[in-house]
Structure 1
Amino acid sequence: MVVPEPGLPTRVRIHEVGARDGLQNEKTAVPTKVKAEFIRRLRTAGLTTIEATSFVHPKWVPQLADAEELFPQISDVDAELPVLVPNQRGLDRALALGARRIAVFASATESFAKANLNRTVDESLAVFEPVVRQAKDAGAHVRGYVSMCFGDPWEGEVPLPQVVRVCTALRDMGCDELSLGDTIGVATPGQVRALLTLLDEAGLPTAELGVHFHDTYGQALANTYAALQHGVTTVDASAGGLGGCPYAKSATGNLATEDLVWMLRGLGIETGVDLEALTATSVWMAGHLGRPSPSRTVRALGPTTQPDKDQ
């Protein structure tokens, strides 16, 4: 039953991260042709923003070592296909292949910046500044990820003004959009509202913010709802609930796109996503990965037995 609630957005753009963030931790290499087919199926299911890959050094994320091979295979997909770049070299590789939506990945905490980027927060921001500038000069849209916005496995609870400082720096260097990451899934709705309020007060428009929640404590949908109440209309999610974070061992999977769509559909919020087609896509990918999807909605709507991966 669809029961709209007053004060919520009428439409949400889902920033699908399954093909990049969802697959990056997989120990067994997923064939490039499977990744390309995954992206095509996600588009067929109605997703219009599909983060495709990362132009990172293969040593750090072996699963995404095929970025140069994959991107040309999906160049005809009628969707926005953002790619993550860690530095100038990554940006050059991405632009050479025609990428026009770029993402950089910053940290709100020193410990995670050291673990993930081997730099301090300020050093990493200094690296990103020329990258963002060059991407903008090339006509690309730039998204800035901010990780560890609510909690850090080494530092504990993260002071919200610390997050605002990093967000402001990314905005000032030219990022078009910011994604607020609950990397280890510890946030609760009150924290989400508090951070969004502080960002408002700092002059960062809600229209330029997205949210990226992990479901470690089962709070991802509750946190998303709190963000919707604040006016956020961009939500990151991963088909089938795939993914985690290779540098934060306590992190579990991303918010499952199917679970998000189920909630939004019940609230009468448009996404353009065909839930049944998306569920079938996640079941198909689960077959390739050799394990069932962790998404509750996929388990509820999908077949009781795992289909053959070729179906």
Structure 2
Amino acid sequence: MATPVHTDLHRGNWVDRFLPVAARPYARLARWDRPIGIWLLLLPCYWGLALARSFDPKTWILFLVGAIAMRGAGCTLNDLFDRKIDAQVERTRTRPLPAGEATVRQAIVWLVVQTLVGLAVLLQFQPRAIALGAASLVVVAIYPLMKRVMDWPQLILGFAFNWGALLGWTVATGEIGGPSLYLYAAGICWTLIYDTIYAHQDARDDAIVGVRSTARTFRGHSKLVLTLLSFAMVLGLHMAIEIAQLSPYAAVAKFFVLGHLSMLLARWTTTDPASCLATFKASRWTGVITLGALAAGQIR
């Protein structure tokens, strides 16, 4: 019996069923068929808004549109940088660029379109928030290169994916900083946890092609390190809650965040790609529970 191919692209989803053939490579470049990344980018934005006690529906919808656009732009940029590496890794060789479903030129045009949508959303906010959002593009741009030069590229991903915690707070309050800095730190720990889990799928291939990751850096100590990062995430969340003077309900609810992380790590099998992917996807619920804790902090 042939060994099943491990891939992150699965045919027959809504992209294949409902989109025209010509549009499918663009949807796959933006990972619309795998919305987990939208969750992971959007939730820190909502954390920042909830921490600032801002629940305006228009703002939340704008952040949703922006997260879809910028996550897609980030994935497209990543695929452009990594197209030669992706062709050598079992999980990624069926992506549109290494598989020949899209050209480099098409991917660049698509990248520009998505970035312009994100810019249009950003321009709806005040100047200070616009400047902060624009600054995030520097981190987004350098992340795809980090796996070639540093052992902790997931740290840079954490800087990029949790920028929304700072931006959400700034949009709501008009100020940069405050308790959102602790929330940002908590989010970075969260990203290190879930993306290390994700990177364990490719640890073998990454070693062959020379791609660095925390999965390779931590080696057999990943569960221990991620457990420590779980405590660090909850500590950052605790500090944000205390400084923002949320109600005691948030302080209690943060322990559900730690409980969920503990459950994920206990169930995770580091050497099983299916377990890695399932645990990674389940990590979004850690973010949802965190949002719930911040929302509970509004109850008096």
TM-score by length of 2: 0.32
Q: Is the helix fraction higher in 1 or 2?
A: 2
Q: Is the strand fraction higher in 1 or 2?
A: 1
TM-score by length of 1: 0.31
Structure whose CA Rg is larger: 2
